[in-house]
Structure formats: C-alpha cells, structure tokens
C-alpha cells in the first residue's frame, strides 16, 4: 500500500477540506416539519443536496433515497464496506461564544454545530475516499459512504434506507471515539406524564415549566413561572440563594407580573450518554420547586421527579442502577420537561448495559412513579449492539489506529447510540481520541484541526487495509 502517497494527499487538501466544512456547517440542518421530498425539513434537504453534490464534484456515484438518506460509492467487489455518517445536528441551544452555524477557527480548534457530530467526520470520510482513490490503492471490496438525516431523532432514515437497498457487509461509523467501540448500550425512551387539572392543594402554584429540546441532551437551562402567594421576590430570592450556597446551584428569580415570578436554573449541557459531564438544569429546577413548597396538582409529580431523578444520572433513586464488566453502567437523562398548568410531561433517555432487561427497567420505573400517580409510556427502544473484539473488522480497525498514531488500540463500550447498531458487523470508530472532552451537543462544539486531519488519515488507512487488495 502506498501509505506515504495517501498521507501526503490528505495533508495537501487541508485548506480545501476547511472550505468545504465551512459550507457544510453553514446549513442549520436541524430536523423540522416535513415538506415535499424533504421528510426532515427544508434545511436537511438542502444539506443532503450539498453533500451529494460535493461527492459528485469529486467524481463519485451518488444515490438519493427520497431525502431520508444518500450514499456515495467507490469501487466494486463481492463485499461492501460501509461508512455510516449523519448530516442532521441538534439545535444550537444557549451559551455559544461563536456563531453556531458557521466555521470558526480559534487557537487551532474548529468550532461550530456539527464539527464533531457529525458533519466534520462525514466530510472527513468523503476526503478519505478521495485520497484512497487518488493514491492509486486498488480495492477488493466496494466502499459506500452512507449519509443519513435522522440520526439524532430516531433513525427513521436508516429504516427507510435499508428497506430500499442492501446493507453493507461490514463497516464503521465515525461518530464516537477511537480506538474502536464494539459495544453500544441498549436504549429506551420513556415519557412520564400526569394530568394535574382540577387537583387543588396548598403551596406555591406552578403555572409552567420548560426545559430541554431533545431527550439525548442534558438540558443546560430550565425555567418555571410560579405564583408568589404574597411572598416578595426578595423572599423567594433569599430561599434560592440559600439553595445555591448549599447545593452549588445556579438559580435566579425575576418578577414578571403582579403575583408572578420566573425562576431560572442554569446547568451545563452534555450528551445524554455521559450525563456526569453535564449539570441537568431540569433536575435542578425540580429540586428548587420542591424546596420552595410547590403546590397544587403538580406537587406530587414535582416531588417524585425531584427525588427519584433530580440531578442523578445513573437511575439509582429510581431503582434501575445496573452495570456489567463488558458494557459498564446504566445512564438515565431527564432531557425534556414541560408543564402548562394542567399537564406535566418529562422525557427520559436511558442507556442500559448488556446484562439489563428493558422489560424489567420499564416495570421498575412504573412502580417507582406509581405513588405520585405519574403514568409511564415507552416511546422507543433498541437492544444493545455487540461485535466481538476478535472479529476481523475490529482487529483491522485497531491496526489502522495503531499504525497511524503509534498507540495501542483496544475495543470498548459506550452508552451513545450510533448508526452502527442499524447494520450487522458495524462498529463506531472515531473521531474523538482517548482523553478528549466530547463537546458534541454542547455550546461551542469543537474539535482540534490537527486531530481532525489525523482522524481522516486513520479512516483512509482503515479503508485501504480492510477493503484494499494486499500488495
């Protein structure tokens, strides 16, 4: 294999990569209401068109699957290697110091929504294909870059895609971490709900609550409108400041009308698979409302959510904490909280290890919430995904990682869910490196430029090693 030529081509195209990345990040490809030929909204249609157009400009064959997904193919052979990426991104959210939907280069870091999750790696995979081809590396297997549009919101894109074409025989998704992720935990989406209208009760009335936009994001901000019940804003503020001192919270209150005040909680966003890296503002708000003496029909539900979920990310208080040696600990994220004065909903994102049972987890949650008369609805679920560590694919990817970085490779488990679980013999592979702070779904999402170029090299070597002919 001509690895020197391959590496030189990747480095020579650094500036071109940045120009393309800037155009890709400039499209705010957040899922929206469907339109004709745009099942996930106009911006995602625009993003898919842009990506496929760039691929054709670089000389590749492309296919468009009704706006759900597209693919880019190089070469042919009895088998097909898949590279699974996505073009949709989560909403920008609060707390940015740079323009979210643009490329900012600051101190050697690339900043923008989608830089690491997953537009940067998707474009990097396209560049890896170009450079493998232009380096003259002969392939024994076809290589297919799959570009989905609904990874962040349920993966309806992959169900549509796989119903209309054959799945690759093996592959990887550059949407997590190096060296190789061969286990992805199972996932459950749970809706907790309670109708509170007509239920009286003493205490501070809660008129509304809002936190979070996606269940797979730890909400960084939450707010509630409450009645003051004759208390002055200063009295409420004093209670919140005491809670701030005691618990390290960031709670504020502002009067908004006669007898009404808005309480705000500031946390820290993170991915739902790593709730310990964030601070859940929804949980913080619920604890504060309970401590203030929230009353009315929402009292029991607020207390239950505060006590049984709160700031915990492991499900311990719910009675669902579990872990095993291969896949680690269960995580539980309160991602969305809504209350309109009569109906309360809270959505949980749960990632569970190989040894857990979805049925038992749902049963335990229902039992824990029953005393507060909170209903539980299963919204979605998927089983854990596992490719054995001794599989040819896993060994080949570890070799590519080690050859490029000079560091020992290994396989491990994550709580995040990638496209890997949608197809057989597929694993997650990059782009984050061991020890990196994962900034996906966070304000100022960023990734080192040098590490981005290194990840492209690793992907290119993996393509050459696994799909190329032996020289």
User: Which residues on adjacent β-strands are paired with residue 337?
Assistant: 211, 346
Measure the CA–CA gap between 345 and 386, rounded to whole angstroms. Answer: 33
Calpha distance 272→256 (Å, rounded): 32
* Pairing state between β 142-148 and 80-86: parallel
**Contact of 70 with 52, CB cutoff 8 Å:** yes
How far apart CA 14 and CA 157 sit, in angstroms, is: 31
Helix (H) or strand (E) holding 452: helix 449-467
Q: Are 151 and 86 in contact (CB under 8 A)?
A: yes
For tokens 């009335």, name the residue. 205
C-beta separation of 334 from 270 below 8 A: no
CA–CA separation, 214 vs 212, rounded Å?
6
Place of tokens 């745009």: 38
Residue 188 phi/psi, 5° resolution?
Answer: -135, 135
Count of CB atoms situated within 10 Å of the CB of 15: 8
**Rounded distance, CA 182 to CA 187, Å?**
16
* Cα gap 214→441, rounded to integer Å: 10
Cβ pair 70, 130 in contact under 8 A:
no
Rounded to 5 degrees, what angle do the CA atoms 445, 447, 451 make?
Answer: 165
Hey, which residues are catalytic here? 88, 151
Asked whether 103 and 21 are in contact (CB, 8 A), the reply is yes
| Whether 52 contacts 46, CB under 8 Å | no
* Residue 445 near residue 112, CB atoms below 8 Å: yes
Closest listed residue to residue 340, CA positions, set 192, 191, 197, 190: 197
Phi, psi of 295 (to 5 degrees): -125, -155
Which residues, 6 or more positions from 364, have their beta carbon under 8 angstroms from its beta carbon? 318, 319, 320
Strand 221-227 relative to strand 180-184, pairing: unpaired
Residue pointed to by tokens 């979210």: 100
């Amino acid at each position: 294999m001509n690895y020197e030529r391959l590496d030189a081509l990747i480095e020579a195209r650094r500036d071109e990569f940045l120009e393309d990345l800037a155009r890709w990040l400039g499209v705010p490809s957040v899922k929206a209401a469907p339109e004709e030929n745009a099942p996930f909204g106009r911006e995602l249609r625009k993003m898919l068109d842009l990506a496929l157009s760039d691929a054709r400009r670089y000389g590749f064959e492309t296919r468009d699957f009704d706006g759900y997904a597209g693919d880019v193919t190089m070469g042919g052979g009895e088998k097909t290697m898949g590279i699974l990426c996505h073009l949709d991104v989560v909403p920008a959210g609060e707390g940015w110091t740079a323009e979210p939907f643009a490329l900012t280069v600051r101190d050697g870091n690339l900043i923008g929504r989608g830089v690491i999750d997953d537009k940067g790696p998707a474009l990097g995979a396209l560049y890896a294909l170009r450079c493998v081809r232009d380096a003259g590396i002969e392939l024994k297997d076809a290589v297919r870059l799959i570009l989905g549009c609904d990874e962040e919101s349920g993966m309806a894109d992959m169900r549509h895609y796989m119903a209309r074409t054959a799945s690759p025989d093996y592959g990887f998704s550059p949407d997590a971490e190096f060296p190789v992720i061969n286990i992805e935990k199972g996932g459950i989406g749970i809706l907790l709900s309670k109708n509170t209208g007509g239920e009286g009760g003493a205490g501070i009335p809660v008129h509304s609550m809002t936190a979070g936009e996606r269940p797979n994001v730890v909400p960084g901000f939450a707010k509630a409108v409450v009645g003051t019940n004759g208390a002055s804003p200063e009295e409420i503020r004093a209670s919140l400041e005491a809670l701030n001192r005691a618990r390290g919270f960031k709670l504020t209150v502002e009067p908004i009308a006669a007898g009404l005040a808005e309480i705000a909680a500031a946390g820290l966003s993170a991915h739902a698979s790593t709730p310990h890296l964030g601070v859940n503002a929804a949980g913080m708000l619920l604890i504060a409302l309970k401590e203030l003496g929230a009353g009315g029909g929402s009292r029991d539900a607020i207390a239950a959510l505060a006590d049984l979920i709160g700031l915990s990310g492991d499900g311990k208080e719910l009675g669902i904490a579990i872990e095993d040696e291969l896949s680690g600990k269960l995580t539980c994220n309160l991602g969305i909280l809504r209350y309109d004065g009569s109906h309360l909903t809270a959505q949980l994102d749960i990632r569970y290890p190989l040894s857990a049972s979805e049925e038992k987890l749902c049963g335990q949650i229902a039992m824990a919430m029953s005393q507060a008369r909170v209903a539980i609805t299963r919204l979605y679920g998927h089983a854990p995904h596992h490719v054995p560590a001794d599989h040819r694919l896993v060994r080949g990817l570890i070799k590519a990682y080690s050859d490029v970085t000079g560091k020992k490779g290994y396989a491990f488990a994550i709580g995040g869910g990638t496209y890997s679980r949608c197809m057989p013999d597929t694993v997650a592979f990059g782009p984050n490196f061991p020890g990196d702070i994962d900034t996906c779904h966070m304000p100022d999402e960023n990734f080192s430029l040098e590490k981005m170029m290194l990840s492209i090299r690793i992907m290119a070597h993996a393509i050459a090693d696994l799909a190329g002919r032996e020289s």
